[in-house]
Amino acid sequence: MSAEEIANKLWNLCNVLRDDGVTYHQYLNELTYILFLKLSDVKGFSEHIPEEYRWQKFVQEHDNAEAFAKYREFLVTVSNKTTSDSIKEIYTDAATSLRKPVNFRTLVTAIDKLDWYEEDDRDVMGDIYESLLEKNAGEKKSGAGQYFTPRPLINIMVDLMVPKVGERWNDPAAGTFGFMISADHYLKSKTNDYFKLDEKQRKFQEEDAFSGVELVGDAHRLALMNARLHGMESRIYRNDTLTEFGKTLKNFDGVLANPPFGTKQGGERPTRDDFTFATANKQLNFLQHIYRSLKKDGKARAAVVLPDNVLFEDGDGQKIRRDLMDKCNLHTILRLPTGIFYAAGVKTNVLFFTRGKTEVNNTKNVWIYDMRTNAPNYGKRTPFTEKAFEDFVLAYTGGIPFDKVEDEYDGLVNEDNRKKIKDERWSCIAREAIAKKNDSLDLGLIADSTLTNSDDLDEPIDIAKQALVELQSITEQLNAMIKELS
């Protein structure tokens, strides 16, 4: 049975449990608790779980009420009884959403019967769990979409950042740890699952190469489980990057992130004192944190998903963009299509930059690619896949095709090669020109065919329609912020 078939089977079990009042998001948490017990049995680390709560005890217990009572007892007590830090973290504040013992039995029986290996003996538990996370993110009522970045976007960002063995990578707003898992997979594919490395290198990759921070308890639990199922013993801190804790996150070789949208709760400013520009805008604060957390070696790099307001906000926004372009080479901005995130209407971009060795004048030119204007409406009829980035990757790399980028691209931005790319969506704007526009980066969008293709429209009407589009964009961003606060 394939990973996708198993994931569908597990997901469909939630429909059975709906009469128990269990939501999809609660169900995924419940699955995490139970799957970890199964994982300890399959992976051979059940000695860290008290004997009376091990997987086979629940499988062999035929009294549903007794098994369920033991399970609830396990959730309450395991954090105090185990010697494993992973287990303590995953079961912190754990509580069951189930009310009927028979439904607990249904889950245990179903999970125990599944074959967790494909025909080539490849362990697919990690693939299955990521599929469940994606299905949960797609359930708009669960609110989980804010923790999940589309997999095709994650993979392209990782490929273009070209992680290397021995580097330290971080996600300061980790969600379910998708960026770091993709980066780990990228390096495993190049090193035969790290078997080409010596023992010291392998230990570093498994334990120290990747790290993350997640503030929300449920997302942190899912991130821990996701990492463990992918064979990663990474540190994933449950904390707030925008507090004093964030000052400890520094000297990274790379950062990949999709910070949360909106303002900090209550509109208050960050509590750490090392930000030059303390604003209530969370994305601007995360951006400051990210470029400050990179090594000043001329090679440390980042790719960050940010909403449109970061590109044009006045005041501190302008100052932060100027500081970014001074301290880093902000070489590329990708204007992403709308509709690819589960939060409807949010307009986003990816900023790609490299930390300079100096503090000033590191950005000379900013290359911008418009994947948004006149783009397909991605959804069930037009799935959003990595192939959607085909033309962007060719422009970004300066001529290396999409299907060759992982093998042939070395991560170095070549201006001369970029200039050879002929694509109306690809433009280069000099730093001096950006400065004249008050350091706004809301640039590079091509003409919208819905506004320019009709000969019957005179210029004032076209301008009015363009203003309406911009007003709608601002309204969407305000609605997203209001939703974050509510």
Q: Say if 127 falls within a structural domain.
A: no
Rg, C-alpha atoms of the chain: 24
Please tell me what DSSP assigns to residue 196. Answer: T
**How high is the pLDDT of residue 123?**
64
Query: Tokens in use for 243?
Result: 């507090």
**How high is the pLDDT of residue 350?**
98
Q: Say if 137 falls within a structural domain.
A: no
**How high is the pLDDT of residue 114?**
79
Task: Indicate the residue type of 332.
Answer: T
Residue 194 pairs in a beta bridge with none
As a whole number of angstroms, the distance between CA 123 and CA 431 comes to 49
My answer on whether 429 and 465 are in the same domain is no
My answer on whether 363 and 481 are in the same domain is no
My answer on whether 155 and 231 are in the same domain is yes
Residue 349 pairs in a beta bridge with 306, 335
My answer on whether 113 and 177 are in the same domain is no
My answer on whether 413 and 461 are in the same domain is no
Q: Say if 376 falls within a structural domain.
A: yes
My answer on whether 410 and 315 are in the same domain is yes
Residue 314's SS3 state is coil
- In terms of Cα–Cα distance, which of 292, 257, 253 is closest to 274? 292
My answer on whether 100 and 149 are in the same domain is no
My answer on whether 89 and 208 are in the same domain is no
- H runs (alpha helix) in 294-430: 309-312, 316-327, 390-397, 405-408, 415-419
Residue 419's SS3 state is helix
Beta-sheet pairing, 210-214 with 426-430: unpaired
The pLDDT tens digits for 3-49 are: 788 888 888 887 777 767 777 778 888 888 998 888 888 877 788 88
As a whole number of angstroms, the distance between CA 426 and CA 213 comes to 34
**How high is the pLDDT of residue 456?**
39
φ, ψ dihedrals at 263, nearest 5°: -100, 160
Task: Indicate the residue type of 434.
Answer: I
The pLDDT tens digits for 84-109 are: 888 888 898 889 989 899 989 999 99
My answer on whether 168 and 114 are in the same domain is no
* Inter-residue contact 12 to 22 (CB < 8 Å): no
- H runs (alpha helix) in 147-177: 151-161
Q: How many domains does the chain have?
A: 3
Sign of the torsion angle spanned by Cα atoms 259, 390, 404, 122: positive
My answer on whether 357 and 480 are in the same domain is no
Q: How many other C-beta atoms are found inside a 10 Å radius of the C-beta of residue 129?
A: 25
Q: Say if 125 falls within a structural domain.
A: no
My answer on whether 89 and 163 are in the same domain is no
The number of angstroms, rounded, from the C-alpha of 317 to the middle of its chain's C-alpha atoms is 23
Q: Say if 126 falls within a structural domain.
A: no
Q: Say if 192 falls within a structural domain.
A: yes
My answer on whether 89 and 12 are in the same domain is yes
The pLDDT tens digits for 140-199 are: 544 544 557 889 999 999 999 999 999 999 999 999 899 999 999 999 999 999 999 999
Query: Where residue 63 sits, what CATH number does that domain have?
Result: 1.20.1260.30
74: containing domain: 3-119
As a whole number of angstroms, the distance between CA 245 and CA 278 comes to 16
Which residues of the chain fall short of a pLDDT of 50? 141-142, 144-145, 266, 453-463, 465-466, 469
Please tell me what DSSP assigns to residue 300. Answer: -
Beta-sheet pairing, 328-335 with 426-430: unpaired
Task: Indicate the residue type of 401.
Answer: P
Give residue 430's region: left, alpha or beta (phi > 0; psi -120 to 50). Answer: beta
Q: Say if 131 falls within a structural domain.
A: no
Query: Tokens in use for 63?
Result: 């009294």
**How high is the pLDDT of residue 483?**
55
Q: Say if 50 falls within a structural domain.
A: yes
Query: Where residue 404 sits, what CATH number does that domain have?
Result: 3.40.50.150
**How high is the pLDDT of residue 462?**
42
